[in-house]
């Protein structure tokens, strides 16, 4: 029997963006959307258009600009939501409406305050309306894994009759066990008369660490679409990590006998981009995309891999677009660096290229070698920076610290063309520097989260800082910066965040 094709539905920009602290700007969403299209996913859930104006605009922009996948907007089964989702996705040549209602008694009673019959009617009406706009309509029964099985089958059969072409079975709270979830798929196949008229989709959350395995088991039992996110980000403990799902199918065709249309060589870039923009770093030992996923430390492993990689490697890092051989030193020329960046799928203007080359050379002066991780961080940072107009620019930073000195910082910042200077004390140099910046920019900005990561090992490693700032309307802004100096990286990240806030202010006053 030929291999079954499994469709991949990416919800990085919707469920993924619901990860605590992962707000993305519209530019960042568009860049991620283009990368997802390169990955060749089947459907991209670009957002929840009724949730906010920003969400609506992002879905619309993606629908207007990104070709390839279905562009999908999420909506509840209520008229105004469905209309809004359509208004956003209608610009795509492949629009999709994803409408959902909770179906478990728990959700019906406490959240929706509706009876089963009322929810059934809402689901039917919602799908019918969505179908009047587009052919590609997906219906989700939220909390399906805790829903009465016969009621679930009844509602699925009804929405397929109304025209749903994808029926999604979410394990919304990550409660199901693999065999149990597989049995649920079997039950649906056996008890929904028109099930062959729709694709069964699954959407698993990772609260018990089972999102990927539950999705895989569902596919083994007949599901034809898997929903998830890059790096597994999402509500609470996240969604199924799509890179893991995809690589299971690719690595074990003997077991699954199925494949996806995914261009796996784009996985690593997608993972880096999502981690960079959301500020949610990938743990080193994460399957597929973690830094250690293909690293061999033990001598016996290294020897085995050198003799034949199959001894310890079940996948080739190049399959996910990860090349480990890129290492630059201070003698590396512009052409070698340009070539390296091309291999990593980056394209830069000559001006950007010289800036990046200089940064890599400066780093090589400080570190013995500059590894691929450093290069990606520098390139991503430059790429991100180049698309934004900076209204807050750091001109100077001086810090004083020691075991008998109160940490002090003096900063000079150019704000909309005017240079302003301030100094401050703090519990550490970072605290002092950010206080000094805040003296200049005003008290309305608050620090929410701060994460420091050394990109490659050693005390001379490049520091990668991600942080979240909050403005007075409580809107959150993620920002990131890299530098070989921890304080500089932190201050640059604050400045980047401040620029995002200033851009938002200017947008509102335009």
Q: Which residues bind ligand KIV (CB under 6 A)?
A: 15, 100, 140, 142, 168, 170, 172, 203, 205
| Chain-centroid distance, C-alpha 144 | 25
CB 344 within 8 A of CB 375: yes
Q: How far apart are CA 422 and CA 412, in angstroms?
A: 7
Pick between residue 211 and residue 379 the one whose CB is nearest to ligand KIV.
Answer: 211
User: Taking CB under 5 A as the rule, does residue 142 contact Zn ion?
Assistant: no
User: Which among ligand KIV, Zn ion, none contacts residue 139 (Cβ within 5 to 8 A by kind)?
Assistant: none
Reduced 3-state DSSP string for 127-178: HHHHHHHCCCEEEEEECHHHCCHHHHHHHHHHHHHCCCCEEEEEECCCCCCH
User: Taking CB under 5 A as the rule, does residue 502 contact Zn ion?
Assistant: no
User: Which among ligand KIV, Zn ion, none contacts residue 42 (Cβ within 5 to 8 A by kind)?
Assistant: none
Longest dimension (CA), the chain: 78
CB of 186 to ligand KIV, least distance (A): 21
CB 467 within 8 A of CB 451: yes
Pick between residue 95 and residue 238 the one whose CB is nearest to ligand KIV.
Answer: 238
Q: What are phi and psi of 467, to 5 degrees?
A: -145, 165
Pick between residue 22 and residue 432 the one whose CB is nearest to Zn ion.
Answer: 22
Looking at 367-395, list the stretches that DSSP marks H as alpha helix, in order from N- to C-terminal side: 372-386
CB of 479 to ligand KIV, least distance (A): 27
Pick between residue 142 and residue 464 the one whose CB is nearest to Zn ion.
Answer: 142
CB of 190 to ligand KIV, least distance (A): 23
Q: How far apart are CA 262 and CA 266, in angstroms?
A: 9
Subset of residues 394 to 423 that bind Zn ion, contact rule: CB under 5 A: none
Q: How far apart are CA 424 and CA 338, in angstroms?
A: 42
CB of 29 to ligand KIV, least distance (A): 18
User: Which among Zn ion, ligand KIV, none contacts residue 468 (Cβ within 5 to 8 A by kind)?
Assistant: none
Choose the stretch contacting Zn ion; rule: CB under 5 A; options: 8-16, 212-220, 245-253, 299-307.
8-16
Looking at 328-462, list the stretches that DSSP marks H as alpha helix, in order from N- to C-terminal side: 334-343, 350-366, 372-386, 429-441
Pick between residue 166 and residue 341 the one whose CB is nearest to ligand KIV.
Answer: 166
Pick between residue 15 and residue 380 the one whose CB is nearest to Zn ion.
Answer: 15
Q: Which of 7, 10, 15, 171 binds Zn ion (CB under 5 A)?
A: 15
Give the count of residues interacting with Zn ion (CB under 5 A): 1
Burial label, 377 (beta-carbon count in 10 A; 0-12, 13-18, 19+):
buried
CB of 14 to Zn ion, least distance (A): 8
Query: What is the full DSSP assignment across 418-440?
Result: EEEEEEEE-SSHHHHHHHHHHHH
User: Taking CB under 5 A as the rule, does residue 143 contact Zn ion?
Assistant: no
DSSP 181: H
CB of 80 to ligand KIV, least distance (A): 17
CB atoms within 10 A of CB 235: 19
User: Which among ligand KIV, Zn ion, none contacts residue 357 (Cβ within 5 to 8 A by kind)?
Assistant: none
CB of 217 to Zn ion, least distance (A): 18
CB 410 within 8 A of CB 398: yes
CB of 204 to Zn ion, least distance (A): 9
Q: How far apart are CA 281 and CA 266, in angstroms?
A: 18
On the CB side of 466, how many CA atoms lie within 13 Å of its CA?
21
User: Which among ligand KIV, Zn ion, none contacts residue 151 (Cβ within 5 to 8 A by kind)?
Assistant: none
Choose the stretch contacting Zn ion; rule: CB under 5 A; options: 11-19, 327-335, 385-393, 414-422.
11-19
CB of 405 to ligand KIV, least distance (A): 52
User: Which among Zn ion, ligand KIV, none contacts residue 140 (Cβ within 5 to 8 A by kind)?
Assistant: ligand KIV
Residues at the interface with Zn ion (CB under 5 A): 15
């Amino acid at each position: 029997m030929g291999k079954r094709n499994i469709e991949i539905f990416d919800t990085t920009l919707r469920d993924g963006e619901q990860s605590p602290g992962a707000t993305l700007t519209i530019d960042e969403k568009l860049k991620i959307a283009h990368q997802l299209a390169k990955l060749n996913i089947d459907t991209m859930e670009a957002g929840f258009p009724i949730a906010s104006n920003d969400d609506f605009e992002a879905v619309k922009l993606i629908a207007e600009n990104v070709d390839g996948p279905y562009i999908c907007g999420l909506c509840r089964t209520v008229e105004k939501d469905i209309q809004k989702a359509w208004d956003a996705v209608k610009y795509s040549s492949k629009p999709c409406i994803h409408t959902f209602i909770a179906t478990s008694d728990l959700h019906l009673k406490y959240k929706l305050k509706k009876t089963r019959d009322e929810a059934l009617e809402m689901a039917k009406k919602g799908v019918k309306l969505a179908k009047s706009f587009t052919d590609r309509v997906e219906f989700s029964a939220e909390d399906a894994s805790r829903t009465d099985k016969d009621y679930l089958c009844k509602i699925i059969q009804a929405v397929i009759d109304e025209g749903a072409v994808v029926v999604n079975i979410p394990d919304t709270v990550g409660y199901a066990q693999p065999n149990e979830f597989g049995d649920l798929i079997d039950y649906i196949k056996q008890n929904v008369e028109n099930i062959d008229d729709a694709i069964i989709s699954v959407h698993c959350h990772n609260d018990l660490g089972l999102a990927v395995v539950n999705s895989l088991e569902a596919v083994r039992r007949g599901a034809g679409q898997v929903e998830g996110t890059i790096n597994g980000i999402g509500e609470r403990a996240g969604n199924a990590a799509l890179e893991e799902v995809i690589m299971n199918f690719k690595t074990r065709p003997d077991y699954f006998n199925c494949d996806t249309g995914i261009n796996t060589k784009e996985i690593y870039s997608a993972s880096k981009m999502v981690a960079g923009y959301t500020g949610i770093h990938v743990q080193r030992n994460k399957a597929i995309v973690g830094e250690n996923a293909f690293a061999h430390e033990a001598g016996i492993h290294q020897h085995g891999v050198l003799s034949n990689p199959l001894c310890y490697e079940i996948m080739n890092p190049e399959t996910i677009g990860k090349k480990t051989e890129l290492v630059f030193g201070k003698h590396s020329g512009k052409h070698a660096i340009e070539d390296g960046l091309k291999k990593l799928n980056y394209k830069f203007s000559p001006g950007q290229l010289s800036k990046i080359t200089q940064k890599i050379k400066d780093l090589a002066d400080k570190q013995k070698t500059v590894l691929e991780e450093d290069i990606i961080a520098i390139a991503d940072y430059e790429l991100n920076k180049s698309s934004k107009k900076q209204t807050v620019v750091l001109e100077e930073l001086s810090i004083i610290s020691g075991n008998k000195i109160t940490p002090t910082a003096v900063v000079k910042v150019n704000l909309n063309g005017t240079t302003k200077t301030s100094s401050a004390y703090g519990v550490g140099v970072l605290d002092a520097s950010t206080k000094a910046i805040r003296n200049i920019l005003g008290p309305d900005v608050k620090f929410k989260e701060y994460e420091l990561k050394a990109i490659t090992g050693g005390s001379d490693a490049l520091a990668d800082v991600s942080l979240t700032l909050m403005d007075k309307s409580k809107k959150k802004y993620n920002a990131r910066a890299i530098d070989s100096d921890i304080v500089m990286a932190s201050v640059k990240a604050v400045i980047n965040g401040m620029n995002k806030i200033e851009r938002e202010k200017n947008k509102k006053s335009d």
